[in-house]
């Protein structure tokens, strides 16, 4: 692959500008396939055996599939909060539509339901299991890799596309999230798909391609709300700049795409907003039961500016470390995404310089604009957000970084060819990127201690070889130097990726790679030690297999659905009983959910009578495992951590009086989950302990470690 760097002059950067600008430009007069564009030759080539480029694409697809599916079920139910919602959606279409946490649709999860829909449809088709739930995420990852390859190939040639696709496949945060059930996997796929649609519009000038892009972004909004909008500036400006039609038509086309986006993303919001509140679940992570508040509060402005009220509180920058321009390189986030940022940034500058005199519709420059703005906007928002920010959000940035790095390597080489005084550019960037990899690896001294030295040495050796090839051209020497550079720059992220897929990833705040000292369990990676053995990655977040008891300095108080890593660990260790005696860890992986008391669930199923809810709990962390295990309606008082004002004490008393709630499970941290909960939850707990009757664990043959069970109504 790297050997073809010697053919860099035949990439999209070197095609005649008029050919680059014409979407219908055919093959050269000789009838040969345009160099560097393997697979897009004349029609006579079709039907023949696959080209070497097509074989490479197939190999990259297989690599991505292997990385994202190998040992997939070891993640158990991953984030048990969303797993419980998936389980609910497989048994209730109402829960499916609203994204409810339980089949009784008492309260929704903290995100819109599009990502849940995909997993729920898979689970309905194949039966609910870890594999059926996570397989769509892995498929989305493979699709993202192949689409990025296709897009980069369109404007930068085969070599750039190969490098970009491999870079994305081995990006640690991508390997993490394309094996996980958080919404970010589908969000990334939809954003990449929207970019593909916009590129089609750039090539053809057709409005329908832009409408498709708008629909995909709208669906991305129904996946993770305002975070989907981060790619919109890049998509719109790329077409506005490089689209073929006249300016007035381009503006009108983009306006039509915007309307499509609003309709595609707003129909579900409108349905929920107009639905009678008494007939739908409470909107989780809000204080006023409003989906509009969820959009602009918890999942919107509070992410950017922080908030100190309600379920959306999250001052201090979340769990991504100190707010600032260097956040993406810090000890928490750096190992997830930062490996190729220097190459991507330098490559972007080189590409824009090389295309500075190109016609407006030049495809190469359009590619730089598209992915450059994508990367710039996402990086700026992630770095400067003062609200909740988890390192795994960076997966949305990964396609842009990979595309810019792959195309940028070739652009830097071409820059040196066109301007001999800049022949040092690519070698210098290789060494700089290798130095960053050395630093990232050096943060975990016990993790593959030889790798960081090998990376920097290989980077320096390859740089010398690249410089030598400038002074004395030698195709073999250039191919060797390019190959060493490729291995050097991808070795670090590849090692992190292999560590990630070799061990279970579970909980509310997953992270790729080994643990980073001082940040384990809060976005700094999982595990410690050297190599890929058991010590390399602990599923609980630290080398010892336990989570820290408090967030690192600057982290927000726990009180949101995504921020409660420590709360998840509390639930995870609530029961230490063996599965043989009545306890079982849902999903078969440590930390997948709180351990459940199967005997208690069996007792509740027999004695619930006509109650709507099998049991009521305080906070979702007490209910997730019961929902996953039983598939029954469970009331999660206060939502994820007990902080949502649902239900009120009066409403709870009415539910008890009506016989809809018969049993309540109270844990030692109930009435507010790990954060102490709202006054509403605390009032309900006090009422339960005063008016309820304790059901002894001996009554149902359980351990009682899941909490104290109360009977609060007569049969």
pLDDT at 60 over 90: yes
Q: Which residues contact 271 (CB under 8 A, 6 or more apart)?
A: none
pLDDT at position 474 is 82
When mean pLDDT is compared across 186-190, 279-283, 471-475, 538-542, the lowest value belongs to: 538-542
Element (H, E) at 693: strand 693-695
Greater confidence (686 vs 526) lies with 686
pLDDT confidence band for 679 (50 / 70 / 90): confident
Backbone angles phi, psi at 616, to 5 degrees: -110, 140
For 308-373, what is the HEC assignment?
Answer: CCHHHCCCCCCCCCCCCCCHHHCCCCHHHHHHHHHHHHHHHHHHHHHCCCCCCCCHHHHHHHHHHH
Q: Cα separation of 220 and 112, whole Å?
A: 10
pLDDT at position 569 is 33
Rounded (10°) CA dihedral 603, 607, 612, 616: -50
The pLDDT tens digits of the residues spanning 602-623 come to: 999 999 999 999 999 999 988 9
Please tell me the pTM assigned to this model. Answer: 0.85
The pLDDT tens digits of the residues spanning 424-456 come to: 999 999 999 999 999 999 999 999 999 999 999
Please give the share of the chain, as a percent, with pLDDT higher than 90: 69
Write down the mean pLDDT value for the chain.
83
Which of 101, 104, 120, 111 is CA-nearest to residue 279?
104
Strand ranges, E, within 18-150: none
pLDDT at 407 over 80: yes
Q: Cα separation of 309 and 329, whole Å?
A: 30
pLDDT at 30 over 80: no
| Mean pLDDT, residues 357-361 taken together | 96
pLDDT at 51 over 70: yes
Please report the sign of the dihedral spanned by the C-alpha atoms of residue 663, residue 668, residue 673, residue 679: positive
pLDDT at position 241 is 97
pLDDT at position 572 is 33
Q: Cα separation of 262 and 455, whole Å?
A: 47
Question: What is the 8-class DSSP label of residue 157?
Answer: -
pLDDT at 384 over 90: yes
SS3 category, 645: coil
The pLDDT tens digits of the residues spanning 298-356 come to: 888 888 887 644 444 444 445 788 999 999 999 999 999 999 999 999 999 999 999 99
Kindly list the distances between the CA atom of residue 709 and the CA atoms of 102, 604, 665, in Å, as whole numbers in the listed order: 19, 10, 5
Please report the sign of the dihedral spanned by the C-alpha atoms of residue 178, residue 181, residue 186, residue 188: negative
pLDDT confidence band for 276 (50 / 70 / 90): very high
The pLDDT tens digits of the residues spanning 583-596 come to: 444 443 333 344 57
Q: Cα separation of 183 and 169, whole Å?
A: 18
Q: How many CB atoms lie within 10 A of CB 610?
A: 9
pLDDT confidence band for 550 (50 / 70 / 90): very low
Specify the long-range contacts of residues 424-428, CB closer than 8 Å, at least 24 apart: 424/467, 425/346, 425/350, 426/466, 427/462, 427/463, 427/464, 427/466, 427/467, 428/463
| Mean pLDDT, residues 354-375 taken together | 97
When mean pLDDT is compared across 27-36, 49-58, 488-497, 505-514, the lowest value belongs to: 27-36
pLDDT at 537 over 80: no
Backbone angles phi, psi at 107, to 5 degrees: -150, 150
pLDDT at position 318 is 54
pLDDT at position 501 is 95
| Mean pLDDT, residues 376-389 taken together | 94
SS3 category, 546: coil
pLDDT at 392 over 80: yes
Q: Cα separation of 671 and 683, whole Å?
A: 8
| Furthest CA-CA distance within the chain | 91
pLDDT at 37 over 80: no
């Amino acid at each position: 692959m790297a050997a073809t760097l010697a053919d860099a002059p035949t990439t999209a950067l070197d095609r005649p500008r008029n050919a680059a600008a014409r979407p219908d430009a055919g093959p050269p007069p000789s009838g040969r396939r345009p160099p560097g564009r393997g697979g897009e030759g004349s029609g006579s080539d079709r039907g023949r055996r696959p080209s070497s480029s097509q074989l490479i694409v197939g190999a990259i697809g297989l690599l991505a599939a292997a990385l994202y599916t190998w040992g997939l079920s070891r993640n158990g139910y991953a984030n048990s909060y969303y797993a419980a919602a998936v389980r609910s959606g497989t048994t209730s279409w109402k829960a499916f539509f609203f994204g409810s946490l339980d089949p009784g649709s008492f309260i929704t999860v903290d995100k819109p339901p599009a990502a849940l829909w995909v997993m729920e449809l898979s689970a309905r088709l194949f039966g609910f299991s870890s594999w059926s739930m996570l397989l769509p995420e892995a498929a989305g990852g493979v699709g993202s890799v192949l689409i990025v390859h296709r897009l980069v190939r369109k404007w930068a040639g085969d070599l750039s596309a190969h490098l970009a696709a491999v870079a994305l496949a081995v990006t640690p945060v991508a390997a993490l999230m394309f094996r996980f059930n958080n919404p970010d996997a589908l969000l990334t796929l939809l954003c990449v798909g929207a970019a593909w649609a916009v590129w089609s519009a750039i090539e053809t000038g057709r409005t329908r391609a832009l409408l498709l892009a708008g629909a995909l972004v709208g669906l991305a909004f129904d996946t993770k709300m305002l975070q989907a909008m981060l790619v919109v500036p890049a998509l719109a400006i790329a077409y506005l700049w490089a689209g073929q039609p006249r300016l007035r038509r381009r503006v009108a086309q983009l306006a039509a795409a915007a309307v499509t986006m609003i309709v595609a993303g707003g129909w579900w919001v409108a349905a929920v907003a107009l639905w009678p509140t008494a007939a739908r679940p409470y909107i989780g992570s809000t204080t006023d039961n409003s989906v509009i508040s969820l959009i602009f509060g918890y999942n919107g402005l509070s992410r950017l500016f922080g908030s100190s009220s309600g379920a959306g509180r999250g001052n201090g920058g979340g769990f991504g470390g100190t707010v600032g321009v260097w956040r993406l390189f810090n000890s928490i986030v750096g190992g997830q995404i930062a490996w190729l940022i220097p190459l991507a940034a330098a490559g972007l500058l080189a590409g824009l310089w090389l295309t500075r005199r190109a016609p407006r519709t030049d495809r190469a420059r359009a590619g730089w604009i598209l992915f450059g703005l994508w990367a710039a906007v996402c990086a700026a928002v992630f770095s400067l957000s003062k609200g909740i920010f988890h390192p795994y959000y960076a997966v949305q940035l990964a396609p842009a970084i990979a595309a810019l790095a792959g195309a940028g390597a070739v652009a830097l080489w071409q820059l040196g060819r066109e301007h001999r005084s800049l022949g040092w550019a690519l070698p210098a960037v290789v060494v700089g990127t290798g130095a960053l990899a050395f630093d990232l690896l050096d943060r975990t001294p016990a993790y593959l201690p030889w790798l960081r030295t090998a990376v920097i040495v290989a980077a320096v050796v390859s740089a010398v070889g690249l410089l030598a090839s400038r002074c004395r051209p030698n195709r073999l020497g250039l191919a060797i130097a390019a190959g060493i550079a490729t291995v050097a720059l991808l070795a670090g992220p590849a090692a992190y990726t292999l560590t990630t897929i070799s061990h279970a990833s579970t909980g509310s705040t997953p992270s790729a790679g080994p643990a980073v000292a001082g940040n384990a369990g809060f976005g700094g990676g999982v595990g410690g030690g050297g190599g890929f053995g058991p010590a390399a990655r602990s599923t609980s977040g630290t080398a010892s297999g336990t989570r820290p008891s408090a967030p690192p300095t600057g982290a927000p108080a726990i009180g949101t659905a995504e921020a409660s890593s420590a709360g998840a660990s509390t639930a995870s260790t609530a029961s230490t009983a063996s599965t043989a005696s009545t306890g079982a860890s849902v999903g078969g992986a440590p930390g997948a959910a709180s351990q459940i008391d199967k005997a208690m669930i069996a007792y509740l199923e027999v004695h619930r009578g006509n109650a709507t809810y099998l049991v009521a709990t305080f906070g979702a962390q007490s209910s997730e495992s019961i929902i996953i295990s039983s598939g029954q309606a469970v009331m999660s008082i206060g939502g994820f951590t007990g902080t949502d004002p649902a239900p009120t004490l009066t409403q709870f008393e009415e539910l008890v009086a009506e016989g809809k709630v018969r049993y309540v499970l109270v844990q030692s941290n109930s009435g507010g989950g790990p954060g102490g909960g709202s006054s509403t939850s605390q009032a309900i707990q006090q009422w339960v302990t005063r008016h309820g009757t304790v059901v002894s664990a001996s009554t149902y043959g359980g351990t009682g470690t899941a909490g104290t069970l109360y009977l609060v109504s007569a049969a």
